[in-house]
């Protein structure tokens, strides 16, 4: 078993980003196994600047040789592979929605609730929340600890990176088409309406109550991470941005809090930085956070419409944040298994 980490889904955007984070963390190529999920034989994946990994097939791989396996695959594939990985004595770190709300499976953002990792032994499966939930949670943790969160209203502006390479390609094709007078109609393989120069108030499938799975997911995942009593309402939209997602958060607390107190706390929070100047360009937008490892907080204001209210803007490279979360969970598990 040793320290080996398998990454499944390395041919996708999320899988490649996870490999990049592991390389940045200084993990040697000899401790990494690259696997595909039905991508076909003969593939290769880059690792760092100089190394190349042969891509094996997850279906036939012996996971007893690895300490941890990170799944960057769709939920149906994760639901099939994770129990097989766990049965082999390896710990599955799943980035899909397949196990996020399953009882006995910890849902972990290391900078927010690392202590939940101790429960990995129950099922040998650890779930990562959506990148959107993760970046929101990183901004909420210090505020909840200090003032006690009661309610969260999250309005998200989500990039096409959340749908993988195909979604980003669709944005590129439609944008290029508009400039050469071609029809920008959606292929409907990824987005239900034109994404170029548009905003789509629809992320993921619709549920019976009219919410989407992403909206319900942010609410349910946040309650699992913070408290089952936390009131959360999410409104999610897809915007014509390649990488970098944002959210406006309207918050209510048990204790009194000022904008200045919130800024001070957030400046010291792990993985978070504050750029909040009440002037032109005194905030961070998605294009400026691409490739960055931090969650940026701007526009911190008091909300006088509710008692102890606060509003703020959070933004991050969602592809990068999701990969960092998965990689750091995996590395924490490797360390725990060696003790």
Query: Of the given ranges (70-79, 187-196, 263-272, 300-309), which has the lowest mean pLDDT?
Result: 187-196
Q: What is the rounded average pLDDT of the residues 60-78?
A: 96
189 has pLDDT over 90? no
- Give me the pLDDT at residue 5, please: 97
Q: What does the block give as tokens for 74?
A: 């769709």
Would the CA dihedral through 17, 170, 204, 210 be positive or negative?
Answer: positive
Query: Of the given ranges (30-44, 50-64, 124-138, 297-311), which has the lowest mean pLDDT?
Result: 30-44
Using 50, 70 and 90 to split pLDDT, how confident is the model at 129?
very high
Residues 23, 31: contact at Cβ < 8 Å?
A: no
Beta pairing class for 51-57 and 272-274:
unpaired
Q: What is the rounded average pLDDT of the residues 149-160?
A: 98
Name the class of domain 5-128+322-338.
alpha beta
Tell which residue, 53, 75, 76, has the closest CA to residue 6. 53
42 has pLDDT over 80? no
Q: 281-305, pLDDT tens digit by residue?
A: 999 999 999 999 999 999 999 999 9
Query: In 181-294, which ranges are E strands?
Result: 231-238, 245-253, 272-274
Give the residue extent of every domain in the chain: 5-128+322-338, 132-318
Using 50, 70 and 90 to split pLDDT, how confident is the model at 186?
low
Q: What is the rounded average pLDDT of the residues 163-178?
A: 92
At residue 305, what are phi and psi to the nearest 5 degrees? -80, -15
Q: Supply the CATH classification number for the domain 132-318.
A: 3.30.360.10
Q: 218-259, pLDDT tens digit by residue?
A: 999 999 999 999 999 999 999 999 999 999 999 999 999 999
Q: 270-286, pLDDT tens digit by residue?
A: 999 999 999 999 999 99
């Amino acid at each position: 078993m040793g320290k080996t980490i398998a990454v499944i889904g390395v041919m996708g955007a999320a899988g490649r980003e996870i490999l990049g984070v592991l390389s940045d963390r200084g993990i040697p190529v000899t401790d990494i196994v690259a696997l595909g999920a039905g991508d076909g034989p003969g593939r290769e994946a880059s690792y760092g600047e100089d190394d190349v990994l042969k891509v094996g097939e997850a279906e036939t791989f012996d996971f007893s040789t690895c300490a941890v396996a990170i799944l960057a695959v769709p939920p149906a594939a994760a639901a099939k592979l994770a129990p097989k990985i766990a049965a082999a004595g390896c710990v599955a770190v799943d980035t899909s929605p397949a196990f996020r709300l399953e009882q006995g499976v910890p849902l972990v953002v290391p900078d927010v609730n690392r202590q939940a990792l101790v429960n990995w032994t129950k099922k040998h499966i650890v779930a990562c929340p959506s990148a959107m939930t993760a970046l929101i949670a990183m901004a909420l943790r210090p505020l909840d600890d200090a003032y006690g969160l009661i309610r969260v209203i999250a309005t998200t502006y989500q990039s096409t990176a959340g749908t993988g390479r195909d979604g980003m390609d669709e944005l590129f094709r439609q944008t290029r088409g508009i400039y050469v007078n071609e029809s920008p109609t959606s292929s409907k393989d990824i987005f239900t309406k034109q994404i170029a120069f548009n905003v789509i108030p629809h992320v993921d499938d619709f549920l019976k109550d009219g919410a989407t799975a992403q909206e319900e997911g942010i609410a349910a995942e946040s309650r699992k991470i913070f408290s089952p009593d936390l009131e959360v309402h999410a409104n999610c939209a897809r915007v014509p941005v390649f990488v970098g997602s944002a959210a406006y958060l309207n918050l209510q607390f048990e204790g009194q809090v000022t904008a200045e107190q919130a800024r001070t706390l957030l400046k010291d929070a792990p993985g978070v930085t504050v750029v909040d100047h009440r002037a032109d360009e005194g905030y961070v937008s998605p294009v400026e956070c691409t490739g960055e490892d931090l969650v940026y907080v701007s526009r911190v204001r008091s909300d006088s419409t509710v008692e102890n209210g606060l509003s703020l803007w959070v933004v991050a490279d969602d592809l990068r944040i999701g990969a960092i979360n998965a990689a750091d969970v995996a590395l924490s598990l490797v360390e725990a298994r060696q003790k």
